Structure 1
Amino acid sequence: MGVIDGQWWGLWWPWLVVWAVTAASVAVLVRYALLRAGGPRRRRRGGRTVHGMCFFLHEKRVMDLYQTGGFSAALEQEVADRINVTSGLGLLGRLGFGSGTARRDVTKERFTAYVRTNTPITVIRLLMDTMRKEDVVVHADLTTGSLVPNRALAELLRERDGSGRVPLTAVMSEFVSVTGRFTALASDGGDIVLRAPYGEGRPPAHVRITCEAAWVREGFQDAEYFTGEFQARCLGKVRTWNRTRGELTLDPIAIFR
């Protein structure tokens, strides 16, 4: 009987090891999937950013921001998250045959191909999600007067006056996402100038955004945009604040409605 037991173990122990590793890998993947399905969604409060319809996109600023803005590592992680880097079965195969080191290379190749082959409209949507996760954007709603500073700005203001409050006119170095009710006026050169009032001053202050004709997307030439107000959201940076005119000028990166 001892001989038989020894032969049986000699024949089957490698397969038992493989099955044990496979079972452990499946358990890890299931736990990972459950965590992704539960925890992150609660933190993100509804998932990824809802962008809406884009009618202005400064493609050069988008790509410059991606290349020089320090977001490449975070973008790589975001792409890896969306493409799923390696599937569950692929990961099992790599673990089973000991070639797990290929995972990072696959991620980089997919990331490089993703950025090279996709359009700026795809990159800006990915970039906005990444900027939200990195907490680098100040959010302002001109219709309600609410302003939510990012973590860095809030800490700086708290150190200065202890309140953490900040007027939109003081946000000069941060990216801003401004939502408001805008009016549009087309210039002779084809540029479109947007304005939206905010605050309770008399006369009220307003945000001014110039959409260069070269980056205006199809659909924004509809005449109805120039006959009344419409809701829009602009991602950009503050260029200047003119106290005399009560005019805050933004350099737009993308505008959605």
Structure 2
Amino acid sequence: MGDWLRHRVPERVDVAQMLANDRFVYGDGLAVADTHPYAPHTFVWFHRDLADEVEVPGDIHIVHRDDRLVVVDKPAFLSSIPRGRHVRESVVVRLRHELGLPELSPLHRLDRVTSGLLMLATERRWRGGYQTLFQDNEVRKTYRALAPLHPDLDLPVTVRNHLVKRRGAWQAEVVPDAPVNAETLVELESRAGDLGVYRLTPRTGRTHQLRVHLDALGIPIVDDPLYPTVQDIALDDFGRPLQLLADELAFTDPFDGMERRFASVRELPLTGPGPA
């Protein structure tokens, strides 16, 4: 097995050292030994070494937990899933360890810089039923955002357009004369000086949808690092969180028919570093 691994693993990896340290494992967790015979159609796993990560400040509040669901209220700057330069500093990795739930996985997307509610399934067997709710837009989501007041903006207004987020691009873009795939109801809820607290009700869930829609109305969200212009902000700069909060989730549970509603424990304006 050792000779086979040496031909399959990139040259920069010291296979002998990894075998000696039991870094290669089979699907059942048993370590691969250099003396093991090659077995076709066998999966062998190893995890790459991770770079040091800056700890993201702020608590992950557990809003709800039962046998099927965990609903958390995450701080800004904490990634939902392990991705790129954010592995240990992600909701999934932190909570799998803290809660002892190795199959814990998110049921929808929440940008790293967005604060608020994230819903996760405790085990793989529950994922399909809940993910279908999100795919069919049967989860009622409410966000709140802090953004400038616009004297000429007639509210409430529903923004409808076609959004595309191309791979490698920082910003999503509006595609003119294309079928609508993004829709958001925007309402002004309260005023705070020259800023307003806006209630946002998305009817769809495109990447960066709320941020693009408010920017298109001339009221970009306060401290948005991407809209209207991309800003060069260090990964360890937690001083100015995006003023966007995933505030409410409501739906009918597909497994028991119960009406579920969850609310964030945070309030605008969000402060950093640390939880709001």
TM-score (norm 2): 0.24
Q: Which structure has the larger Rg over C-alpha atoms?
A: 1
Structure of higher RCO (CA pairs closer than 8 Å, 6+ residues apart): 1
Q: Please state which structure has a larger fraction of its residues in helix.
A: 1
TM (normalized to structure 1)? 0.25
